[in-house]
């Protein structure tokens, strides 16, 4: 009963590896370490390799008697995907297809996938639920949608039980400051604001101050990475108990503006956050937050940490690890 965790040396993967091991599950991490760190696995068994390497995956499944997979491996920068779409289709779609193909006929029955709220594009109705139209606005979002479609067909044709967890904005660090988000290759708001507060970058740029939101800056649903990890543990348990395959939103159900994040970082850190207000970026929705009722009911999952917990944990992590894991 071992779980293969692709991308388990990355940000969300490492928190999930830790949560699974804490409940006594055997895991094997498969990560290229291109964007991940061995230190983040906290000593979990790690194989350095590509999730799209079918021969390697099949040998790991046999050697470790793997019956479940959690697939985090992939790229996540929507902005970059507009510049180099092929990179995203290659890693997020082709590698996922190869991984799934390698699992056909093996002992693997359950598969949890890193989905994304970017599959919704700009939602017509908020909060956005799983029945909303799927209209991604970047190759990244499209790659996540294709990943879900691959899963649906593997479910129908090969009996794979699957769950796509559509994360909203993953943020924060572990409460005990052991692991967190490495800032060297992230474009997520919270680490960028932390960087500015620490004087590691000249200023944080705020894209757009004229959105139809209470303070004019864009609104997103920030979900603590430990709550996400808990969602994965529950999704795996649910599938293994015969739960229904499908997609679930993992968000708090509450939106916070970019300005609220900056104000809270200023308060928690006691530092000035140099801020530069610039125009909107193409394709940035004004507001996105989750209807999470399907996940809370199917998985009995409740996000326990709010924006203050996110900022406080991230501040402790970034202050104590200004250069991340390096």
Ligand X SMILES: NC(=O)c1ccc[n+]([C@@H]2O[C@H](COP(=O)([O-])OP(=O)(O)OC[C@H]3O[C@@H](n4cnc5c(N)ncnc54)[C@H](O)[C@@H]3O)[C@@H](O)[C@H]2O)c1
Which whole-number Å values give the CA distances from 282 to 43, 121, 187, in the listed order?
Answer: 42, 12, 16
Quote the Cα angle for 307-24-10, to 5°: 45
Residue 292 contacts ligand X per CB under 6 A: no
The C-alpha atoms of residue 13 and residue 69 are separated, in whole angstroms, by 12
Nearer to ligand X, 144 or 316 (CB): 144
Q: Regarding beta strands 219-220 and 256-257, do their DSSP bridges make them parallel or antiparallel, or are they unpaired?
A: antiparallel
Residue 20 contacts ligand X per CB under 6 A: no
Residue 316 contacts ligand X per CB under 6 A: no
Residue 235 contacts ligand X per CB under 6 A: no
Residue 52 contacts ligand X per CB under 6 A: yes
88 is catalytic: no
The single residue listed with the structure tokens 């529950």 is 234
Please check whether residue 302 is in contact with residue 16, taking contact to mean a CB–CB distance below 8 angstroms.
Answer: no
Among 54, 74, 172, 303, binds ligand X (CB under 6 A): 74
Q: How far is the CB of 17 from ligand X (least distance, A)?
A: 11
Residue 12 contacts ligand X per CB under 6 A: yes
Residue 54 contacts ligand X per CB under 6 A: no
DSSP E strands, the chain: 2-6, 26-31, 46-48, 66-71, 110-116, 161-167, 169-171, 204-207, 219-220, 222-224, 246-250, 256-257, 275-278
Q: How many residues bind ligand X (CB under 6 A)?
A: 29
Residue 16 contacts ligand X per CB under 6 A: no
Residue 147 contacts ligand X per CB under 6 A: no
The interface with ligand X within residues 86-125 (CB under 6 A) comprises 91, 95, 114, 116
Only segment of 164-172, 212-220, 251-259, 280-288 that touches ligand X (CB under 6 A): 164-172
Helix (H, G, I), strand (E, B) or coil at 25: coil
In the complex, the residues that contact ligand X under the rule CB under 6 A are: 6-7, 9-13, 30-36, 50-52, 72-74, 76, 91, 95, 114, 116, 167, 169-170, 188
């Amino acid at each position: 009963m071992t779980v293969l965790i692709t991308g388990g040396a990355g940000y969300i993967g490492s928190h999930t590896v830790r949560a699974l091991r804490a409940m006594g599950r055997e895991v094997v991490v498969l990560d290229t370490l291109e964007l991940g760190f061995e230190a983040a696995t906290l000593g979990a068994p790690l194989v350095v390799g590509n999730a799209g390497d079918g021969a390697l995956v099949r040998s790991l499944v046999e050697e470790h008697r793997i019956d479940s997979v959690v697939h985090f491996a992939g790229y996540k920068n929507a902005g970059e995907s507009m510049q180099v779409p092929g990179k995203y289709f290659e890693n997020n779609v082709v590698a996922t297809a190869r991984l799934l193909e390698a699992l056909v006929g093996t002992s693997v029955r359950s598969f949890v996938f890193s989905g994304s709220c970017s599959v919704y594009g700009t939602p017509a109705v908020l909060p956005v639920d799983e029945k909303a139209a799927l209209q991604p606005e970047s190759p990244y979002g499209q790659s996540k949608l294709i990943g879900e479609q691959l899963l649906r067909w593997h479910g129908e044709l090969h009996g794979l039980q699957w769950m796509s967890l559509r994360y909203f904005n993953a943020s924060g660090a572990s409460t005990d400051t052991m692991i967190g988000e490495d800032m060297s290759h992230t474009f997520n708001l919270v680490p960028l604001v932390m960087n500015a507060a620490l004087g590691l970058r000249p200023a944080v740029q705020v894209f757009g101050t004229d959105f139809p939101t209470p303070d004019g800056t864009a609104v997103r649903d920030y979900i603590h990475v430990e709550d996400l990890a808990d969602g994965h543990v529950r999704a795996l348990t649910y599938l293994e108990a015969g739960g229904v395959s499908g997609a679930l939103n993992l968000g708090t159900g509450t939106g916070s503006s970019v300005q609220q994040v900056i104000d809270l970082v200023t308060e928690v850190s006691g530092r000035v956050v140099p801020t530069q207000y610039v125009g909107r970026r193409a394709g940035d929705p004004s507001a996105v937050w989750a209807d999470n009722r399907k996940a809370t009911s199917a998985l009995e999952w409740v996000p326990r940490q709010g924006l203050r917990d996110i900022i406080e944990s991230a501040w402790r992590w970034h202050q104590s690890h200004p250069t991340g894991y390096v």
